[in-house]
Each structure stands twice: as structure tokens, then as C-alpha cells.
Amino acid sequence: MKLANRIKELRESQGLLQRQLSAQLEIDTPMFSKIERGERRAKQEQVLKIAEILKVSPDELIALWLTDQILDVIANACSYEKWKEQALQALKMAETDIKNKKD
């Protein structure tokens, strides 16, 4: 819910209503509300559009979007408390692979 919290924080700081953002995203207000509450995951293209609308770096919002996805995968795969060390080890291994990946 890191992304959801950040979107709400940015929207409110700019004095925008949910219906204003949802209209620009071409989704209904209840759907945007669910995204902002973390009950529904935004699509990548929506995250990029939200960054544009709120005039923030897309890198920041995409990083939060990815973080939420990673945490969801870990939470759904195992008991976080029981497998905390293994989850951290897996993240380190993934980090190494990402750094070594060549396009």
C-alpha cells in the first residue's frame, strides 16, 4: 500500500478530488478510490499517467508500485514471520540478478 498512500498524499496536497483524477485516468471514481485505498492494484500505465497528472517522477511511483507487488508475492508465498530470512535472501539474490542482467 506504499503506492496507494503516496498517491493519496500527493492528491490531497494538490487539492485534487478523486473524481478529478479518475476522470483523467478514464476510470470511475469508485475504482480510483479502491486503488487509493490499496484494495485494487493500479496498472503500470495508470501509474505512469498518475505521475504525469500529479507532476511527480514516474520513477518514484513505479518503484512504489514494484515494492507493493514484491511484498504481495512474499506475503502470498509464505508466512512472512516464519520465512523472513529466506525472503530477505531471495530479495538479495534477485537484486544480484537484476544488477547483472544485460539487455
Query: SS3 string of 27-87?
Result: CCHHHHHHHHHCCCCCCHHHHHHHHHHHCCCHHHHHHHHHHHHHHHHHHHHCCCCCCHHHH
Q: Say how many domains are in the chain.
A: 1
Owning domain of residue 80: 2-100
Under DSSP, is residue 79 helix (H, G, I), strand (E, B) or coil?
A: coil
Kindly report, residue by residue over 42-87, the tens digit of the pLDDT.
999 999 999 999 999 999 999 999 999 998 888 877 776 777 888 8
Q: What is the CATH number of the domain that holds 31?
A: 1.10.260.40
Kindly report, residue by residue over 28-42, the tens digit of the pLDDT.
999 999 999 999 999
Determine the pLDDT at residue 60: 96
